[in-house]
């Protein structure tokens, strides 16, 4: 080989050398630019994740105050008949003193004084009397017993242990005083006040502006889940059936070309347009209720369909024609060839497309705002299918909602909700990857 090149008379060694150098230099330049591009992308992603986690990770820990509460029959059931009607007449105001008394007793036991019982009780979330009332109404036989409860500390106290509230800021704050913070420290020392994993964040519904500590994603998660169910159940069969028909059966003519172009365009339509459509058609014309997962699900289905159709058609196209020929050659009908051979081979692509479509739908906010999913919902929707028509929230909308509120504790919650949303999306993508691996076959 070297002999041969040596034997070939080099026309102009310097010129060829210069060309080689230029070629190598341009290659290096291109590689460098690629690296820079990737670095920018990675940096942006890392920056985003760091900021979200820095703000939101603390959401998953929450300050609780553990108290033994005597469910005093004298207050809760004066008649003593354990009649649920009678008991339910006692409002949350009737329960607040129980907590107050219990806290006062606990403090007295440990010799903590110098703060009046009313102020001390403000350490505990205003949401908790309602919780206590639900507990009693759920199981009236507990009246007269002493039960241990983990009560949410108020947002300011929680913020104190997350660095949001300091002695100095408490001085200026109407909602909390330095004395209360000191009491919290003493309670912490006594083991009454603890910080632990925040399950309530996943199960509680949203809470009012003054009670960020009680705000949770329960209704939003359920609402999102209902919508995803509707989207999956509607868009997968419709999308796959439409794709199979268009790809395998429809004649190639003007009309199908037009349909094809329109599906591609539909995928690019801004999502808010689908929201307007949903408002006009499903709510104003059909008369479905506002804020209901069924409307959200229908709107998101419309949005997801083009994605699924495009992915499914690409997957069907990717199946080699030789497989169709093979099936037809042994006397399979067209339907049999498609459903026995082509569709199974296209399955990984179909499922991936579906999950990507679902993930998109899960994160979609704009159209849901238009159909009223932004409403403040405290009540859990019922189980499906009736629950599809009950008001609910959705994860991304809940994020949006919380970022609009004044208390910085809600900003923490919003970041926490984003983390939950990201975990869901990651999980869905993981499923897509696993399915793709499982179904992947060579031919």
Partner 1 sequence: MNMLSDAAAEKALVKKMNEVNYKMVGKDVSVYYGEKRALFDVNLGVRNNTVTALIGPSGCGKSTFLRCLNRMNDTIQGAKVTGLLTLDSKDIYDPDIDVVELRARVGMVFQKPNPFPKSIYENVAYGPRIHGLARSKAELDQIVEASLQKAGLWSEVKDRLQESGTGLSGGQQQRLCIARAVAVSPEVILMDEPCSALDPIATARVEELIHELRANYSIVIVTHSMQQAARVSQRTAMFHLGNLVEEDDTDKMFTNPSDQRTQDYIMGRFG
Q: Which residues here bind partner 1, judged by CB under 8 A?
A: 252, 320, 322-333, 336, 340-341, 345, 441-443
**Residue indicated by tokens 């979200």:** 52
Min dist CB 325 to partner 1, Å, is 6
Q: How far apart are CA 166 and CA 168, in angstroms?
A: 5
Given a contact cutoff of 8 angstroms between Cβ atoms, the answer to whether 316 and 346 are in contact is yes
Min dist CB 442 to partner 1, Å, is 6
Helices (H), 57-127: 73-76, 84-87, 92-109, 117-121
Q: Closer CB to partner 1, residue 254 or residue 441?
A: 441
Q: Closer CB to partner 1, residue 156 or residue 313?
A: 313
Residues sharing a CB contact under 8 Å with residue 423, sequence separation 6 or more, in sequence order = none
Q: Closer CB to partner 1, residue 9 or residue 331?
A: 331
DSSP lists the bridge partners of residue 151 as 65
Distance of CA 211 to the CA centre of its chain: 21
Question: Considering only CA atoms, which of 312, 314, 288 is closest in space to residue 299?
Answer: 288
Q: Closer CB to partner 1, residue 110 or residue 438?
A: 438
Distance of CA 147 to the CA centre of its chain: 34
The encoded tokens of residue 215 equal 């705000």
Given a contact cutoff of 8 angstroms between Cβ atoms, the answer to whether 236 and 250 are in contact is no
Residue 150: strand, helix, or coil: strand
Q: Closer CB to partner 1, residue 65 or residue 345?
A: 345
Q: Using CB atoms within 10 A of its CB, is residue 214 exposed (0-12), middle (13-18) or buried (19+)?
A: buried
- Max CA separation in the chain (angstroms): 116
Q: How many residues does the chain have?
A: 443
Q: How far apart are CA 182 and CA 66, in angstroms?
A: 17
**Residue indicated by tokens 């003593």:** 80
Q: Closer CB to partner 1, residue 9 or residue 321?
A: 321
Given a contact cutoff of 8 angstroms between Cβ atoms, the answer to whether 366 and 271 are in contact is yes
Min dist CB 340 to partner 1, Å, is 7
Q: Taking each helix axis as running N to C, give the angle between helix 13-56 and helix 408-439, from 0 to 180 degrees, rounded to the nearest 10.
A: 130
Q: How far apart are CA 143 and CA 86, in angstroms?
A: 13
Q: Closer CB to partner 1, residue 164 or residue 324?
A: 324
Q: Closer CB to partner 1, residue 11 or residue 441?
A: 441
Q: Closer CB to partner 1, residue 376 or residue 439?
A: 439
DSSP 40-73: HHHHHHHHHHHHHHHHHGGGGEEEEEEEEEE--H
Rg of the chain over Cα atoms, rounded to whole angstroms, equals 31
Q: Closer CB to partner 1, residue 131 or residue 346?
A: 346
């Amino acid at each position: 080989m070297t002999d041969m090149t040596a034997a070939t008379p080099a026309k102009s060694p310097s010129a060829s050398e210069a060309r080689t150098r230029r070629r190598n230099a341009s290659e290096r330049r291109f590689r460098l630019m690629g690296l820079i591009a990737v670095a920018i992308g990675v940096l942006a992603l890392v920056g985003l994740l760091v900021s979200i986690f820095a703000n939101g990770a603390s959401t998953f820990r929450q300050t609780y105050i553990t108290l033994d509460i005597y469910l005093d029959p004298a207050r809760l059931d004066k008649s003593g008949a354990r009649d649920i009607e009678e008991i339910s007449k006692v409002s949350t105001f009737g329960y607040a003193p129980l907590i107050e008394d219990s806290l006062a007793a606990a403090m007295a036991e440990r010799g903590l004084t110098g703060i009046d019982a009313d102020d001390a009780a403000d350490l505990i979330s205003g949401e908790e009397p309602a919780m206590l009332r639900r507990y009693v109404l759920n199981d009236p036989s507990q009246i007269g017993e002493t039960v241990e409860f983990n009560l949410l500390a108020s947002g300011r106290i929680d913020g104190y242990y997350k660095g949001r509230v300091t002695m100095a800021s408490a001085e200026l704050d109407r909602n909390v005083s330095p004395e209360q913070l000191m009491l919290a420290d003493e309670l912490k020392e006594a083991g009454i006040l603890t910080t632990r994993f925040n399950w309530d964040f996943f199960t509680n519904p949203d809470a009012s502006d003054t009670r960020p500590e009680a705000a949770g994603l329960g209704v939003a998660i359920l609402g999102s889940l209902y919508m995803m169910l509707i989207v999956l159940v509607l868009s997968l069969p419709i999308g796959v059936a439409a794709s199979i028909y268009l790809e395998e059966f429809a004649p190639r003519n003007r009309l199908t070309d037009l349909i094809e172009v329109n599906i591609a365009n539909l995928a690019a339509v801004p999502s808010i347009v689908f929201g307007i459509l949903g408002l006009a058609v499903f709510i104003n014309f059909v008369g479905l209720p506002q804020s209901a997962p069924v409307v959200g699900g229908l709107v998101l289905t419309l949005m997801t369909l083009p994605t699924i159709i495009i992915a499914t058609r690409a997957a069907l196209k990717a199946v080699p024609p030789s497989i169709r020929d093979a099936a037809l050659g042994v006397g399979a009908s067209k339907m049999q060839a498609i459903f026995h051979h082509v569709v199974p081979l296209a399955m990984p692509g179909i499922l991936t497309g579906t999950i990507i479509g679902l993930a998109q739908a899960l994160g979609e906010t704009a159209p849901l705002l238009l159909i009223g999913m932004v409403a403040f919902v405290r009540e859990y929707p019922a189980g499906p299918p009736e629950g599809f028509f009950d008001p609910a929230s959705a994860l991304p909308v809940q994020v949006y909602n919380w970022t609009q509120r004044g208390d910085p504790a809600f900003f923490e919650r919003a970041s926490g909700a984003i983390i939950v949303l990201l975990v869901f999306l990651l999980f869905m993508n993981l499923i897509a990857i696993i399915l793709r691996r499982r179904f992947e076959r060579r031919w």
